[in-house]
């Protein structure tokens, strides 16, 4: 007996019944304007027992050779099962550490606190997990003769870095729309280095998003924002790999920073698949963390999840989640309802201090991860997270992309931040007794 072939296609995520082939260029449901999702043939997936999936994934995980050694393509049957292997564009994304923070966990009364270090990645953020899937699909589309001249995205910095790198690897031109002066220097230089056409626009992310949607509607430019559900199929592997790290035993809580809310939605999709296929038997709870200055989901949560009220996002150190009109709002609300979820928010001081606190335990947390860590502090203090709970935080970028944030924190020059852990360098003459004096109090 041979197992049934694995198939996937687009379906409307609002349930109106629209379906399309994955090799059609379509981003939204033409009937109801809803976002699409990649629908897998779950019956065919279920025909393979959970133990066999685990064995297959573990054996690929053991190699560093690509594409099996990719955290995404090592599980390719769950991403794009019909994509020919020769069209995979992998830079070695995923397969990242789950780093314990035992001191912070003990101080907060938690059983464990862990960082899933998604920024330990080719371009330094979790965006690589989704972009490898999208760019591989575009490579396949072009090989089938679909007229795509270039890929394009609007970005708060990390999406454009990821798109530019994967497009460069695939030999596909890339165009990125960035809000002028609202991304870090490292984020700006990445697409420049990878040869993308970089448009620096005098607006914010939401303004860039409007323009890229308009320009991709009627030319051969392919839209690479997270509205595009191909990216979600890669990003959902974060949840899957996290459970794999823990011996297929989910933590009590998973905490994730949210901007456009694609990643939060992807987390739910990964966990749903694990649960439906029997690889995990318990559903964790999920907390989405937002910057207080860009908190449309937190506001909606407090109002019992009435409709989204788009807002003008205020300037926040967590610039990658400075988004006032999140495209995946409805997906995220459905996810939160399914995972008994909560939404928490963090001020500038809270996010900066939480990141600095985690740094003292050997990490180098980006400001968005700081938002998530601040949410953990608040949810543990308020008792929403029970004493002894196990908590995993999706750390979304490498702190080295936000060096100016770190420098400002330790120089105490960030506005609206009272730095509790500032550790400025000690300026000294090159003099032995002065050096001895400065080290006297070390234990």
Ligand X SMILES: *Cc1c(COP(=O)(O)O)cnc(C)c1O
Interface contacts to Zn ion, rule CB under 5 A: 12, 14, 16, 18, 29, 31-32, 34
**Interaction of residue 368 with ligand X, rule CB under 6 A:** yes
- Among 34, 122, 234, 257, contact with ligand X (rule: CB under 6 A): 257
Nearer to ligand X, 235 or 248 (CB): 235
Query: From the list ligand X, Zn ion, none, which binds 189 (C-beta under 5 to 8 Å, kind-based)?
Result: none
**Interaction of residue 234 with ligand X, rule CB under 6 A:** no
Min dist. Cβ of residue 273 to Zn ion (A):
22
- Among 396, 399, 405, 406, contact with ligand X (rule: CB under 6 A): 396
Query: From the list ligand X, Zn ion, none, which binds 300 (C-beta under 5 to 8 Å, kind-based)?
Result: none
**Interaction of residue 158 with ligand X, rule CB under 6 A:** yes
**Interaction of residue 67 with ligand X, rule CB under 6 A:** no
- Among 125, 190, 295, 316, contact with ligand X (rule: CB under 6 A): 125
Sign of the CA dihedral with 361 first, then 367, 372, and 375 last: positive
- Contact of 161 with 437, CB cutoff 8 Å: no
**Interaction of residue 263 with ligand X, rule CB under 6 A:** yes
Nearer to ligand X, 250 or 262 (CB): 262
Q: Which stretch binds ligand X (CB under 6 A): 37-45, 237-245, 257-265, 351-359?
A: 257-265
Query: How far apart, in Å, are the Cα atoms of 104 and each of 242, 254, 376, 410?
Result: 20, 16, 10, 20
Query: From the list Zn ion, ligand X, none, which binds 396 (C-beta under 5 to 8 Å, kind-based)?
Result: ligand X
Min dist. Cβ of residue 43 to Zn ion (A):
23
**Interaction of residue 363 with ligand X, rule CB under 6 A:** no
**Interaction of residue 191 with ligand X, rule CB under 6 A:** no
Min dist. Cβ of residue 124 to ligand X (A):
9
> Could you give the string, one character per residue 16-35, with x where binding to ligand X holds by CB under 6 A and - elsewhere?
--------------------
Long-range contact pairs involving 15-18 (C-beta distance under 8 Å, separation at least 24): none
Min dist. Cβ of residue 122 to ligand X (A):
14
**Interaction of residue 268 with ligand X, rule CB under 6 A:** no
**Interaction of residue 358 with ligand X, rule CB under 6 A:** no
Min dist. Cβ of residue 11 to ligand X (A):
21
Nearer to ligand X, 242 or 264 (CB): 264
HSE toward the beta carbon, residue 394, CA cutoff 13 A: 31
Min dist. Cβ of residue 138 to Zn ion (A):
23
Min dist. Cβ of residue 329 to Zn ion (A):
16
Min dist. Cβ of residue 35 to Zn ion (A):
9
d(CA 286, CA 289): 10
Min dist. Cβ of residue 16 to Zn ion (A):
3
**Interaction of residue 237 with ligand X, rule CB under 6 A:** no
**Interaction of residue 160 with ligand X, rule CB under 6 A:** no
- Contact of 109 with 386, CB cutoff 8 Å: no
Query: From the list ligand X, Zn ion, none, which binds 308 (C-beta under 5 to 8 Å, kind-based)?
Result: none
The residues binding ligand X (CB under 6 A) are 125, 127, 158, 226, 257-264, 320-321, 366, 368, 396-397
């Amino acid at each position: 007996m041979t197992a049934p072939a694995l198939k996937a296609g687009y379906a409307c995520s609002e349930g109106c019944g629209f379906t399309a082939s994955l090799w059609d260029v379509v981003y939204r449901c033409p009937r109801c304007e809803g976002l699409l999702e990649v629908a897998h043939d779950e019956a065919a997936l279920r025909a393979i027992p959970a133990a066999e999936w685990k064995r297959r994934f573990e054996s690929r995980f053991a190699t560093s050779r690509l594409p099996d050694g990719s955290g995404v393509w090592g599980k390719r049957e769950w991403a794009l099962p019909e994509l020919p292997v020769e069209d995979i564009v992998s830079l070695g994304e995923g397969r990242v550490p789950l780093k314990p923070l035992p001191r912070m966990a003990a101080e907060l009364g938690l059983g464990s606190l862990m960082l899933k270090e998604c920024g330990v990645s080719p371009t330094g953020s979790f965006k690589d997990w989704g972009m490898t899937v999208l760019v591989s699909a575009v490579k396949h589309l072009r090989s089938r003769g679909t007229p795509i001249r270039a890929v394009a995205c609007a970005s708060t910095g990390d999406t454009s870095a990821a798109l530019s790198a994967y497009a460069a690897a695939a030999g596909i031109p890339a165009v990125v729309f960035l809000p002028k002066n609202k991304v870090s220097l490292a984020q700006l230089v990445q697409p420049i280095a990878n040869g993308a056409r970089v448009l620096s626009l005098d607006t914010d992310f939401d303004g860039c998003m409007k323009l890229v949607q308009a320009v991709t509607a009627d030319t051969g430019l392919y839209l690479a924002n997270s509205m595009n559900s191909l990216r979600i199929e890669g990003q959902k592997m974060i949840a899957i790999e996290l459970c794999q790290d823990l011996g297929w035993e989910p933590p009590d809580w998973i905490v994730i920073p949210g901007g456009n809310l694609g990643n939060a939605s992807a987390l739910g999709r990964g966990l749903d698949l694990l649960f439906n296929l029997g690889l995990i038997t318990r559903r964790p709870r999920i907390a989405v963390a937002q910057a207080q200055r860009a908190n449309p989901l937190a506001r909606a949560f407090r109002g019992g999840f009435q409709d989204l009220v788009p807002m003008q996002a205020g300037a926040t150190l967590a610039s990658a989640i400075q988004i006032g009109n999140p495209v995946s709002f409805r997906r995220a609300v459905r996810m939160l309802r399914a995972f008994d979820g909560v939404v928490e928010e963090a001020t500038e001081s809270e996010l900066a201090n939480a990141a600095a606190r985690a740094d003292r335990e050997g990490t180098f947390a980006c400001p968005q991860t700081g938002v998530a860590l601040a949410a953990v502090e608040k949810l543990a203090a308020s008792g929403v997270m029970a004493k002894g709970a196990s908590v995993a935080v999706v750390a979304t970028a490498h702190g080295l992309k936000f060096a100016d944030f770190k420098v400002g924190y330790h120089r105490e020059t960030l506005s609206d931040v009272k730095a509790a852990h500032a550790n400025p360098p000690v300026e000294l003459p090159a003099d032995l007794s002065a050096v001895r004096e400065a080290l006297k109090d070390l234990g």
